Amino acid sequence: MADATISVRGLRKRYGDYEAVRGISFDVGRGEVFGLLGPNGAGKTTTVEILEGYRERTDGEVSVLGHDPAAGERALKERIGIVLQSTAFYPNATVRESVEQFAKYYPHPRDPGEIVQLVGLEEKADERLKALSGGQRRRLDLALALVGDPEVIFLDEPTTGFDPAARRTAWKVIDALKDLGKTVLLTTHYLDEAQSLSDRVAIIKDGVIVAEGPPSELSPESARYRVAYNQNGHRVELETDDPTELLHRLTSEALAQGRRLEGLTVSRPTLEDVYLELTAEAVAE
């Protein structure tokens, strides 16, 4: 991608003898929401923290908005927003004070009051952080990442530990970022999250990308249809690129023999199937 906002080429990261990231490459275009999906320990956080400038890479090229994040330039930090895996700010500060303080760090901040409202914390604006619930703290993290009006936002497992309602709220906020034209790099181990938020997903396992593409197209065999039915007490499963023809053949045969196709289903593999298949080894370990 010529004008990629985030570009990663052959990235490697070694910790002693252990190689956490083993040569991954991907691009994220302007205004795109890109999801890094994978089990715990796959190398997602290491990758994101290299892009955020927290970790040095062992090898490879990375660029964020044309900068090398390892240089730690203020000019880059002014244009990115970060949600780390765990919440971190002064427990005795209030929500409003925290967002207002962060706003001072950036050259063109958004209105702190508006940001507090955007993440749905207006009723908690004068609460101290130590009094917030886990989900409320994550929403504050999001507010702190957004108040500088960044062009690129890194979200490292932004909804881990959320109840379903809080996750929906967070998803709406992330969708709203997309509408504002922000570029988002998201890591998650929730499939539904990657599927509903991302324009494109890369599945990471053991430090390498094992699949990449839009969630709807992501499949090991380019989304073949699965047709299944019961015959003589067992399940028959067939795969095809053209279900129309297959179904026509199956139903004709069945009618001709006076049988019924019990329990007939036609499905496309979901991202979940792909994910489970690709990460099966990792889970089994």
Partner 1 sequence: MSTVALAWQQFRFERRLFWRNPSALFFNFSLPVIFLVLIASVFSLSRNDLKTLVPGIAGLAVMTTTFNALAFNLTFIREQGIIKRMRGTPLPSIAYFGGVLGNAVMNAVVQVTLIVVLGHLLYHVSWPQDWLTLAVFTALGVIAFGALGVAFAQIIPNFDSAPAYVNAFFLPIILISGAFYDTKHLPSAIDAIARALPLKHVIDGLHAGIVTGAPVTDHWDAVGVLSLWCVLGLFFAVRRFRFE
Residue 15 makes contact with partner 1 by CB under 8 A: no
Residue 74 makes contact with partner 1 by CB under 8 A: yes
CB of residue 249 to partner 1, shortest distance in Å: 59
Q: Residue from 93, 246, 264, 266 that binds partner 1 (CB under 8 A)?
A: 93
Contact yes or no for 59/198 (Cβ under 8 A):
no
Residue 102 makes contact with partner 1 by CB under 8 A: yes
Instruction: Name the residue nearer to partner 1 (CB basis): 66 or 220.
Output: 66
SS3 for 134? helix
Instruction: Name the residue nearer to partner 1 (CB basis): 40 or 92.
Output: 92
Instruction: Name the residue nearer to partner 1 (CB basis): 137 or 205.
Output: 137
Q: HSE-up of 62 (CA within 13 Å, CB side)?
A: 22
CA 5 – CA 56 distance, rounded (Å): 20
Contact yes or no for 141/83 (Cβ under 8 A):
yes
User: What residue type is 181 in one-letter code?
Assistant: G
Residue 105 makes contact with partner 1 by CB under 8 A: yes
User: What residue type is 103 in one-letter code?
Assistant: A
Residue 106 makes contact with partner 1 by CB under 8 A: yes
User: Which one of the spans 15-23, 35-43, 102-110, 272-280 is the region binding partner 1 (CB under 8 A)?
Assistant: 102-110
CB of residue 81 to partner 1, shortest distance in Å: 9
Find the angle CA(26)-CA(142)-CA(140) to the nearest 5 degrees. Answer: 155
According to DSSP, residue 133 is labeled -
Q: Residue from 89, 171, 190, 225 that binds partner 1 (CB under 8 A)?
A: 89
CB of residue 184 to partner 1, shortest distance in Å: 16
CB of residue 200 to partner 1, shortest distance in Å: 24
Q: Looking at the DSSP assignment, which residues form a beta bridge with residue 7?
A: 27, 63
Residue 160, burial from CB neighbour count under 10 angstroms (0-12, 13-18, 19+): middle
Output the DSSP codes for 169-197: HHHHHHHHHHHTT-EEEEEES-HHHHHHH
Q: Residue from 1, 10, 90, 239 that binds partner 1 (CB under 8 A)?
A: 90
Question: By the criterion CB under 8 A, which residues form the site for partner 1?
Answer: 52-54, 74, 77-78, 80, 82, 84, 86-93, 97, 101-102, 104-107, 128, 144, 148
